[in-house]
Amino acid sequence: MRISKKCVTAALVAMTTMSSTAFGQALLVDDFSGTGGPDSTKWTVSTQNNGSPFGCTFATSEVWKSGGNLILNVNPNTDKCAEVKSVKSDFKYGKYLVRVTPSTFAGGNTSFFLYTGTTGGATNHYEIDIEIINGGKTLHTNYFVKGSDNGGKNVKQFNLGAGLVQLGFEWRANTIRWFWVGSDGKENNYRTANVSISNNMNLFMNHWYSDNSASGVGFLGEHTGGGGQAKYDKVEVYK
């Protein structure tokens, strides 16, 4: 997420199970092995402050690899948080998957999303979102077309179990499908949106908290001072 979003809660819908997880040509695979910072051929680390409703500034000090995970840390004592952006800027149609253990503190956001354009309602702004909010218990899905999420009508939310999850979305010429992957490798659908987006985008992951403004609280709830790590185990993108 790069700008404020209106939070609209949707009822949990019946999920459809796919027979198997189908993969095509690999465009990006990273299991975050090793130590130090993220692979600089794949990721850049953000250092900017996005302004409201973000309550913290992205910093290199809050991004590192450990135990086979990419750690995106939130440090409320220094108002620092974390974001990485793909070096590849022309992601388009394909399947996008992330295995992640989200943070669980109030008012936080653990995310995985595609983005291009300028914030503030610009017509060049397009976006496809997976965001884990509500103390790690809610999956927030959304998309932006020409700077708009249709007054929040593009948002749907779903209950999410605790701990490590594998989530994804499949972006095609006329649809976006969000899903989770079970231990058996099968995809279980959350939703499908009938929408045409053809703009190239960067892939982002970030971890941050609300500034407790009206828009921040409306989206993420009140941040009560908590912090900690979001642990990204693996990212995969297939054409």
The per-residue pLDDT for range 104-138, each reduced to its tens digit, is 999 999 999 999 999 889 999 999 999 999 999 99
Q: Looking at residues 216-235, what average pLDDT do you find?
A: 98
**pLDDT at residue 1, as a whole number:** 58
Tell me the CA distances in angstroms from 46 to 20, 72, 163, 210, 221, one per residue in order: 35, 11, 26, 18, 24
Q: Looking at residues 16-39, what average pLDDT do you find?
A: 80
Q: Looking at residues 139-165, what average pLDDT do you find?
A: 96
What are 194-197's contacts with CB under 8 Å, separation 24+?
Answer: 195/143, 195/145, 195/154, 197/126, 197/128, 197/143, 197/145, 197/171
Residue 166 has pLDDT above 60, yes or no: yes
Q: In the numeric block, which tokens belong to residue 17? A: 């199970």
**pLDDT at residue 119, as a whole number:** 87
φ/ψ region of 152 (left if φ > 0, alpha if ψ in -120 to 50, else beta) reads: left
**pLDDT at residue 123, as a whole number:** 97
pLDDT over 70 percentage in the chain: 90
For residue 124, the one-letter residue type is N
Residue 61 has pLDDT above 60, yes or no: yes
Tokens 């892939």 appear where?
Answer: 203
Cα torsion 219, 222, 225, 229 to 10°: value is -30
Fold classification of 26-238 (topology level): Jelly Rolls (2.60.120)
Contacts of 150 (CB under 8 A, 6+ apart): none
Closest C-alpha among 149, 108, 143, 147 to residue 129:
143
Rounded Cα–Cα distance for residues 27 and 86 (Å): 11
